[in-house]
Structure 1
């Protein structure tokens, strides 16, 4: 039986760090289902007061990333008074860096989101990725940091978008049985190509669920076991012939697939 509990996430920024930490921590426990209460861009006393009223009405754990010393003290004092468990999630990492570097943190709000050259690099990469989704604009695939190839429904698009947000120009090239990939991917001047593999059973399940979600008949050749097996066999032979690096996405999340791709890019020395 699942254990439900309230977890309140307070951030003076977007809350991405809090969500990632909370979910990673909860993943270490079985049958645990956190009830998330999110308070983003908390930068004033009025905003904090509203969050505290809601926490009082639904007691639980408080995780926060707030830089303003006054707001931090108010939150910490309130949690101490009400015996509410509270954790400033990035403080341990900041403290370690401060001791190691011999520097004092400037506690900047949303410092990781400042508009600088790295920000514009990410925007450029995202624009490239969106323009090269699903086999578009093959004429300039040579500009890609990585080209992901694979049969339909192997999570190429979400993986490319994730990579784009990390500043990687990722192109998504779908494979159709019997049709050769774009020539640029098969020549000596090709970008780094990574092939996404998947088990037939997993792909059948994904395709059938997709057809059901759009109210189409799941009993078609697109999702039939025999057709899928033939399609995957053809793709795997192509991967072997081209000697492309492969990643099995059968049981990987998009984040795990992207992490493996980032490792491959780093090892290749192309980025």
Structure 2
């Protein structure tokens, strides 16, 4: 029996992403000979957040499906995909624009207006908003309220992973690790079983960071992408993980889903 062709699908939304997911799966089930892997990125409401997600999509040569309605977001994704030769399906813009032209009315550009306002919906929105609020260590108090705390140096998929887990109703906070910076006191008050240290292979991280700088039109050879500096960052993180006693996950060869499954299955009952 021939091995199935594989395709990665990135599903992006500025709401919870159900419409985009249903749209993608409604089409992909028509191709049973292909093995599809889905990565869902809900509440993607800023271009800075989208930039990180799209860089991952580029590395995975993914098919991008989105239902972004926020002003400028759809255009940003569509242009990125065009510039980087990624196939993209914009599930909302053309339909909204057509209705606007026919009626002469201006659309609201509000995400998530078609969802039923039930308890499950509100719980998911709460988890997603929590992940956005406590992303990148913005407020250390979030560590005390989180179901999961993610630690990692830059470009270890903390934010996309936080949003993926939030879509599973987990409240997630994350903290970027930089040597010579103070670790918030709140972190030491968290159950180590709820903390997960993300790491990566130095060379893989070196390539990811260089690609990131090139995307922004910057010189790829900087302290940020320097291999020795990256190795020092990873050693700093490893030392911290040992001190905390948390589970360490190398994300270099793992999908978002695989890493998320490792985390959820390791949580205390």
Give the shorter-chain TM-score range: 0.5 to 0.7
1:25–1:213: structure 2 CA closer, same or farther, 3 Å change rule? Answer: farther
TM-superposed CA distance for 1:256, in Å, is 2.1
CA RMSD of aligned residues (A): 3.1
1:16 to 7, 18, 21: 21
2:188 is the counterpart of 1:186: yes
Does structure 2 conserve the Cα–Cα contact (< 8 Å) formed by 1:151 and 1:232?
A: yes
The within-5 A match list for 1:1-271 is 14=19, 16-17=21-22, 19-20=24-25, 22=28, 28=35, 114-187=116-189, 192-265=194-267, 268-269=268-269
Does structure 2 conserve the Cα–Cα contact (< 8 Å) formed by 1:147 and 1:191?
A: no
Does structure 1 conserve the Cα–Cα contact (< 8 Å) formed by 2:152 and 2:176?
A: yes
Does structure 1 conserve the Cα–Cα contact (< 8 Å) formed by 2:192 and 2:245?
A: no
SS class of match (1:194):
strand
- Between the aligned partners of 1:145 and 1:166, the Cα distance in structure 2 is 12
Q: Larger Cα Rg: Structure 1 or Structure 2?
A: 1
Does structure 2 conserve the Cα–Cα contact (< 8 Å) formed by 1:196 and 1:246?
A: yes
- Between the aligned partners of 1:179 and 1:214, the Cα distance in structure 2 is 26
- Between the aligned partners of 1:230 and 1:34, the Cα distance in structure 2 is 32
- Between the aligned partners of 1:37 and 1:174, the Cα distance in structure 2 is 29
- Between the aligned partners of 1:145 and 1:188, the Cα distance in structure 2 is 10
1:156–1:20: structure 2 CA closer, same or farther, 3 Å change rule? Answer: farther
1:250–1:226: structure 2 CA closer, same or farther, 3 Å change rule? Answer: same
| Equivalent in the alignment of 1:62 | none
TM-superposed CA distance for 1:27, in Å, is 5.0
Which stretches in structure 2 are left out of the alignment for 5+ residues?
Answer: 6-17, 37-60, 67-114
TM-superposed CA distance for 1:162, in Å, is 1.2
Which stretches in structure 1 are left out of the alignment for 5+ residues?
Answer: 4-12, 39-112
TM-superposed CA distance for 1:18, in Å, is 6.3
